[in-house]
Structure 1
Amino acid sequence: MKNTFGFQNKNGRSLGIVLAGVGLLAFARAVYRRATRLDFRDKVVLITGGSRGLGLEIARIVQEKGAAVALCARSEEHLNRAASELGGSVLAVAADLTRAGEAQRVVDQVLGRFGRIDVLVNNAGIMLVGPENVLEAEDYQRVMAANCWTALHMIQAILPHFRARGVGHIANISSIGGKVSVPHMLPYSVSKFALTSLSEGLAAELKKDYIHVTTVIPSLMRTGSPRNISLKGDHEEEYAWFKIADSLPLLSQDARKAASCVVEGIAAGDTEVFLTPVGRAASVMNGIAPGAVTTLMRWVDRFLPRSDSKHVKKGYESESEATRGIIGSRTDAAAARNNEL
């Protein structure tokens, strides 16, 4: 009996030491995160794709926290509306970031205005929805250029400045489509997988230079963006399933909440931020059981529309009775709020 109790006491002490060690590590991590947390007051935040949608919501939040904001997008019209709403010292720069020289021009212009850049948010991108049989190589190239090369060009343009200052923050807005390939969104998924890989690799390599890289993984969000996506195939049917899914509260996240999660992740210096538990679960499942996830995606594909049309239409050109109803009204309201009209 003595030996048994002695063995139990020894195990109890060992468990206590382990738990104390875990608690001490958790406490040290919390102290470190608090000490290194980014305060947005008087910081300069450059947001690509910042004139509407998630980018605009991020701009609103960091401005509320005291940051100076620089927005970059292709459309001068959307940029001017966003800058007018935000007011203050907002700088709006129109540029096509698929061209490396344009990225350098944007960085130089922001530095010329504010003297420094503290945070880069790579949010620029496009979406093309349609079945595989109507997609062409040019579709993949166009989406890849918008969703991955724009981020790479901006990062390469800004790194010399961050290295010279000895600090910097980069947030790359990827997607759950960059963790799990989604039917009828192949070019988008390909580009987001590439962006996720780039972001994760940079997070490892740039840490020694005190440059923090955060990979953001959103799921569906009610930003109002569906009306501006490109569609191939059966335009009305493709738009219907996408917009309805985007409007359902159980499937999509409020854009303001999503932007708050992004800003919090940047402030905390997180390496990866999943905006929804469903997105995290899907990513974990794809890592543990990729075959099962692929089987599920096959079933999803069976219910999606079929067509041979290679003609491209925008979402707003593909409205139908189904998308104009009460279900789609949430997305319409978000579009009005987030400068997507």
Structure 2
Amino acid sequence: MTVSTQTKALLWGLAGVGAWVALKSGLARQRKIDFQRKTVVITGGSRGLGLEMARILAQEGANLALCARDPAELDEARNELLAYGGRVYTQTCDLTDKSQIEDFIEDVRQALGPVDVLINNAGTILVTPFEHSTEADLRESMETNFWSAFHSINAVLPHMRPRKAGRIVNVTSFGGKVSIPHLLTYSASKFAFVGYSEGIRPELQKEGIYVTTICPGLIRTGSPRNAYFKGQNEKEYAAFKIAGSLPFFTIDSTECAREIVDACRYGEAERIIGLPAKIGASIQGLAPNLLAEVMGVVSRLLPNPAGIEKERTKGKHSETVLSESFLTTLTDKAAQRNNEMTNE
């Protein structure tokens, strides 16, 4: 009895899948680390997703170093995290300033020791129709979402290379895989970040340093109130906040933080977080024209250019009855939990 070509192909395919699963499991065991007494830097760690990751790492015994622009937010985060019993170092830092980044990393080394883990989490979001976006907007997004991480990575590598060990986690976005209407400057900066993060992994892996690229979908962190909006800002904010509150379309910030920490623990190359993000990234790879048509429909449903036009304001100054309704309950609860309510 002869075996058909199709059957042989299936058997070879199954064997290949089995071999990959076994290899992946072996690499995970080999690369696994624990965070006990590790020095972990989290940029933008005073609120939102950064604070959620800090809580998890504090419970695992890490020594934490957080930076952000607002000293009051940092103080509040530090007071909470100290309750877990570890060491917490905080410092105000403008991450668009290379010299401030370098000073921060050196101060962390003096206070806690060489950096074992860097989590590039800080970022900014601007929601605007293309007609109201400017060159200055794109430059600001690149400075905050890409160049700040670039300089942070360069600042920690001298700590990691001599020891031939270290982890770098780059929290990018699904918006760095698929460009989203009204998030053009954000997506452009995240595309750059994804490409750089993926590119440096093989370059640094030979030195024992593992770079992980994180691409989450919409996360319920409570951050929309601190994002920036142009055009018909109240409508833009309501749409953004409601979309970020949908329970099956978005990811709980605590769960997202756990996944990021887990990906770091095992030195994974990439983790796309959230089923919609995984589906969207797959469609982009297999049927980009289809996804482009879908995004065209989405764009037509979003607010037209108008309102405050090229001026911008934060979400918390754009609240309406709709954005404060039951439709945004999950986002409002997350904002209370994740230190997003400061600076009123």
Query: Secondary structure at 1:214's aligned position in 2?
Result: strand
Query: Secondary structure at 1:323's aligned position in 2?
Result: coil
Aligned length: 336
The alpha-carbon deviation at position 183 of structure 1 amounts to 0.4
- Residues 256-265 or 11-20, more deviating: 11-20
Matches of 1:11 and 1:78 in 2, distance apart?
A: 61
Matches of 2:289 and 2:7 in 1, distance apart?
A: 42
The alpha-carbon deviation at position 261 of structure 1 amounts to 0.4
Residue of structure 2 equivalent to 1:328: 328
Establish whether residue 75 from structure 1 lines up as the match of residue 65 from structure 2.
no
Distance verdict in 2 for CA 1:15–1:46, change over 3 Å: same
Matches of 1:239 and 1:291 in 2, distance apart?
A: 28
Query: Secondary structure at 1:273's aligned position in 2?
Result: strand
Residue of structure 2 equivalent to 1:316: 316
Please give the residue correspondences for 1:156-175 in structure 2 after superposition, counting only pairs within 5 Å: 156-175=154-173
Matches of 2:148 and 2:283 in 1, distance apart?
A: 30
**Identical pairs, percent:** 42
Which of 252, 255, 258 matches 1:257?
A: 255
Q: CA offsets per residue over residues 156-207 of structure 1, 9 Å max, x none? A: 1111111111111000000011000000010000010010011001112111
**Contact 1:98-1:153 within 8 A present in 2 as well:** no
Letter paired with 1:334: A
Query: Secondary structure at 2:311's aligned position in 1?
Result: coil
Matches of 1:235 and 1:186 in 2, distance apart?
A: 16
**Contact 1:232-1:310 within 8 A present in 2 as well:** yes
Residue of structure 2 equivalent to 1:26: 21
The alpha-carbon deviation at position 12 of structure 1 amounts to 8.3
The alpha-carbon deviation at position 278 of structure 1 amounts to 1.4
Establish whether residue 339 from structure 1 lines up as the match of residue 339 from structure 2.
yes
**Contact 1:43-1:68 within 8 A present in 2 as well:** yes
Greater percentage in helix = 1
Matches of 2:171 and 2:43 in 1, distance apart?
A: 10
Matches of 1:100 and 1:237 in 2, distance apart?
A: 36
CA RMSD of aligned residues (A): 1.9
Structure label with greater radius of gyration: 1
**Contact 2:222-2:332 within 8 A present in 1 as well:** yes
Matches of 1:19 and 1:321 in 2, distance apart?
A: 55
Letter paired with 2:338: N
Residue of structure 2 equivalent to 1:118: 116
Residue of structure 2 equivalent to 1:53: 48
Distance verdict in 2 for CA 1:298–1:90, change over 3 Å: same
Structure 2: any 5+ residue segments left out of the alignment? none
Distance verdict in 2 for CA 1:96–1:19, change over 3 Å: same
Q: CA offsets per residue over residues 297-326 of structure 1, 9 Å max, x none? A: 111011110123111111000000101111
Distance verdict in 2 for CA 1:226–1:17, change over 3 Å: closer
The alpha-carbon deviation at position 277 of structure 1 amounts to 2.0
Matches of 1:278 and 1:242 in 2, distance apart?
A: 16
Please give the residue correspondences for 1:135-284 in structure 2 after superposition, counting only pairs within 5 Å: 135-284=133-282
The alpha-carbon deviation at position 10 of structure 1 amounts to 12
Letter paired with 1:128: L
The alpha-carbon deviation at position 27 of structure 1 amounts to 2.9
Distance verdict in 2 for CA 1:330–1:35, change over 3 Å: same
- Residues 60-69 or 229-238, more deviating: 60-69
- Residues 19-28 or 90-99, more deviating: 19-28
Residue of structure 2 equivalent to 1:302: 300
Q: CA offsets per residue over residues 137-170 of structure 1, 9 Å max, x none? A: 1011111111001100100111111111111100
Matches of 1:10 and 1:244 in 2, distance apart?
A: 52
The alpha-carbon deviation at position 296 of structure 1 amounts to 0.8
Letter paired with 1:79: L
- Residues 59-68 or 303-312, more deviating: 303-312
Matches of 1:180 and 1:319 in 2, distance apart?
A: 28
Matches of 2:48 and 2:187 in 1, distance apart?
A: 19
**Contact 2:250-2:274 within 8 A present in 1 as well:** no
The alpha-carbon deviation at position 280 of structure 1 amounts to 1.5
TM-score by length of 2: 0.93
Establish whether residue 39 from structure 1 lines up as the match of residue 39 from structure 2.
no
